[in-house]
Amino acid sequence: MIQLNPLWLAGGLIGGVSALLILAYALVKDKKTSMGFERNISDGEIVRRLAHYARPYLGSFAVAGLLMLFSIVYDIVSPLIVGYVEEMLVGDFALRSLFATVAVYAGVLVFSMVSSYFQAVILQKAGQRIISDLREDLFTHIESLSHQQLNEIPVGKLVTRVTNDTNAISMMFTNLLVNLAKNCFVILGILGAMLLVNYELTLMVLCFVPFIVLFTVIFRRFSRRAYRRVKDCTTDINTYLSENLSGIKITQIFGREDVRMEDFRRRSEALGKAKRDEIFVFGVFRPLVYMLYISSVLCLFYLGGMGYLDGHSFLGQTISGGTIVTFYMYISKFYNPIQNLAEQFNWLQSAMASSEKVFSILDLKPTMVDAPDAIDLPVIQGDIEFRDVWFSYVPGEWVLQGVSFHVSPRQTVAFVGSTGSGKSTILSLICRNYEFQKGQILIDGVDIRKIKISCIRSHFGQMLQDVFLFSGTIRSNIVLRMEDVPDQRILEVCRYVNADHFIDKLEGGLDEPVRERGNNFSAGQRQLISFARTILHEPAVMILDEATANIDTETELLIQDSLEKMRSVGTMLIVAHRLSTIQHADNIIVLSHGRILEQGTHQQLLEKRGRYYQLYTLQYHKEQMRKETAR
């Protein structure tokens, strides 16, 4: 009768699976570029930059590494202790020796568990501090980017970089690196221990190592693709949510909820598919490694059983029962770190990819930076001059074409014109939100490019049409983190701009909660809070960009009174479509297609009967018709 050797069965099964995996590996190509995931920063550079953040906490990592050694000792010593107990049970049994051995085992286990606990605590503290430092640097850098750069990067993408990607990096510091090192040491330690116990059985175990390496290499290919798809889909859905939740009111107004839901469903399904593919890869890899583990255990039992029961030897060495028990535990401890190594290596790749995405934001050079010889102006009088200024958002498409004008200190100057004529662009250039291509802008006779950006913005107060209020209270939105501002001063400013008319009626007063973007206040109330915020900071130059648009008549009267008061504060630059709000301006500049058509006072421009006269007459007739209709 032919005796079937289980070694041949295990070898045939493993060989067949290996052939199928090699075929799949050859057929699937890793097209990084087509997947939008081409690496631009080398792993060495990423490690160097991450090491910069980890360097202050090297002491914590050293202590964690020392504690890790104790758990490694447990993994190596515990099978020897159990094997010794097996030998004791079949040999000269002594209860006292058994108790002593069990006590040693329990002591090693408890010490290992305590070491693992403190190791985890130390790593979590160090890792969170590192990520906190990285997040602060990332957030600070985002704040330094110009308006143009921030317009080009979706908000959802930035949120993903600050949250999801830094979380992946946090996992690397708090878990991956130490466990990778631990698993490597455990594998080496177990191999050494197995060689000392029985080198023949160790060689048998090593016969499976090439297949482990093969499966791991193939697994890396597929898992890397799965990770990339998950990250791309996560970024896509975060970007979509950020944009559409901010504009959900528009969606509701136009009844496009179903369309938006369908768009969201497609992105959600894409993320779900990517997650399923990721799970499938791990679902295949884990059983394959488990198959190798079971095969090696079966081979151990076969060879061990033959040597122990029938008196046979394997490669000249007889195997005892204690040896079989010891090797059984060693094989289990040998395969676990190998399986973990493969998964952790891919998590490490994911963390490296996240690191690259974070550093790609940190590597963005702000387009608006101070010149090397930029200066601080302790006081700004408010003298502003444009000399033949040209500007374009898109190369070749000029928004401003040779604009020149002069604003004297404490003057009120208004800019009028049709949409797209360049009014708001002029105000943005004065605040250095964008860089102009030609010409010169002077503040108090100094080229604006030679003044520090922070200095300019600290002396300028901007009041925009779309007032942004932060979640918090009215007080926090007025002071904007200014320290030690007494309530008396805040209330004084509120009365000055007529904001006290509605604040005094609120139950919480200055402590009234402000919801997201101030949606629990009307447009006029938000504008008055913006006026109070600006006046509290005592700017030398005030900028109002359509500050009276979309305001009800009653609130408009309050705002008009506030504007008259603020004219005495400093230089005022106004952009307004309602010409009735700028009749008292010292100078009115009329723009069209990026050029100045005419300028002068209200009366002077009416006498010219030019473009301003046409705009004013048209608005006047519309207002009269509105009043007639109201009657």
pLDDT of residue 308: 45
Over residues 84-138, the pLDDT tens digits come to 676 666 656 666 777 777 787 788 788 888 888 888 888 888 888 988 899 999 9
In this structure, is residue 143 part of a structural domain?
A: yes
Work out the mean pLDDT of the chain and round it to a whole number. Answer: 79
pLDDT at 311 over 60: no
Which residues have CB under 8 Å from 487's CB, separation 6+? 475, 510
For the chain, give percent helix, strand, coil, nearest 5: 65, 10, 20
Angle between helices 6-27 and 257-309 (to 10 degrees): 150
Angle between helices 257-309 and 199-206 (to 10 degrees): 150
pLDDT of residue 279: 81
In this structure, is residue 368 part of a structural domain?
A: no
* CA dist., res. 360 & res. 364, Å (int): 7
Structure tokens at 24: 């799949």
pLDDT at 66 over 70: yes
pLDDT of residue 391: 93
List beta partners, residue 542: 461, 572
Which residues have CB under 8 Å from 398's CB, separation 6+? 390, 391, 392, 594
Closest C-alpha among 493, 122, 546, 188 to residue 341: 188
Over residues 221-234, the pLDDT tens digits come to 777 777 778 878 88
In CATH, what number is assigned to the domain containing residue 497?
3.40.50.300
- Looking at the 3D structure of the chain, how many domains does it have? 2
Among 304, 327, 362, where does a domain finish?
362
Is the same domain home to 357 and 407?
no
pLDDT at 243 over 90: no
Which residues have CB under 8 Å from 396's CB, separation 6+? none
Over residues 258-304, the pLDDT tens digits come to 888 888 899 899 888 888 888 887 777 777 777 777 777 777 777 66
User: Sign of the C-alpha dihedral, residues 110, 116, 117, 118?
Assistant: positive
Upper half-sphere CA count for residue 163 (Cβ side, 13 Å): 10
pLDDT of residue 390: 94
For the ranges 77-86, 261-270, 334-343, the one whose mean pLDDT is highest: 261-270
In this structure, is residue 36 part of a structural domain?
A: no
Residue showing tokens 């890793």: 30
Is the same domain home to 203 and 333?
yes
Is the same domain home to 460 and 533?
yes
Closest C-alpha among 311, 309, 183, 159 to residue 234: 159
* H/E run at residue 596: strand 595-600
pLDDT of residue 386: 94
pLDDT category of residue 502 using cuts at 50, 70 and 90: confident
In this structure, is residue 9 part of a structural domain?
A: no
* CA dist., res. 176 & res. 347, Å (int): 8
Is the same domain home to 353 and 443?
no
pLDDT at 13 over 50: yes
* CA dist., res. 292 & res. 289, Å (int): 5
Is the same domain home to 492 and 551?
yes
CA torsion 428-433-434-436 (nearest 10°) is: 60
What residue type is 555 in one-letter code?
T
Is the same domain home to 330 and 218?
yes
* CA dist., res. 468 & res. 257, Å (int): 25
For residue 314, what is the DSSP state? B
Is the same domain home to 388 and 330?
no
pLDDT at 216 over 60: yes
In this structure, is residue 4 part of a structural domain?
A: no
Among 328, 362, 396, where does a domain finish?
362
Angle between helices 43-54 and 95-144 (to 10 degrees): 100
pLDDT category of residue 5 using cuts at 50, 70 and 90: low
pLDDT at 604 over 70: yes
Among 362, 396, 427, where does a domain finish?
362
pLDDT of residue 2: 43
pLDDT category of residue 623 using cuts at 50, 70 and 90: low
pLDDT of residue 313: 53
In this structure, is residue 277 part of a structural domain?
A: yes
Return the SS3 of 592: strand
Number of C-beta neighbours around residue 69 at 10 A? 14
pLDDT category of residue 441 using cuts at 50, 70 and 90: very high
Instruction: Using CB atoms within 10 Å of the CB of residue 210, give its burial: 0 to 12 exposed, 13 to 18 middle, 19+ buried.
Output: exposed
Is the same domain home to 470 and 581?
yes
* CA dist., res. 11 & res. 8, Å (int): 5
* CA dist., res. 229 & res. 236, Å (int): 10
Is the same domain home to 358 and 388?
no
Domain housing 601: 384-630
In CATH, what number is assigned to the domain containing residue 181?
1.20.1560.10
Q: Phi first, then psi: give them for residue 319, nearest 5 degrees.
A: -110, 130
* CA dist., res. 300 & res. 353, Å (int): 41
Question: Could you tell me the pTM of the whole model?
Answer: 0.69
In this structure, is residue 535 part of a structural domain?
A: yes
Over residues 520-543, the pLDDT tens digits come to 888 788 888 888 888 888 888 888
Structure tokens at 138: 């990332």
* CA dist., res. 465 & res. 576, Å (int): 10
In this structure, is residue 353 part of a structural domain?
A: yes
pLDDT category of residue 310 using cuts at 50, 70 and 90: very low
Is the same domain home to 305 and 217?
yes
Choose the weakest-confidence range: 110-124, 331-345, 478-492: 331-345
Is the same domain home to 390 and 318?
no
Is the same domain home to 338 and 426?
no
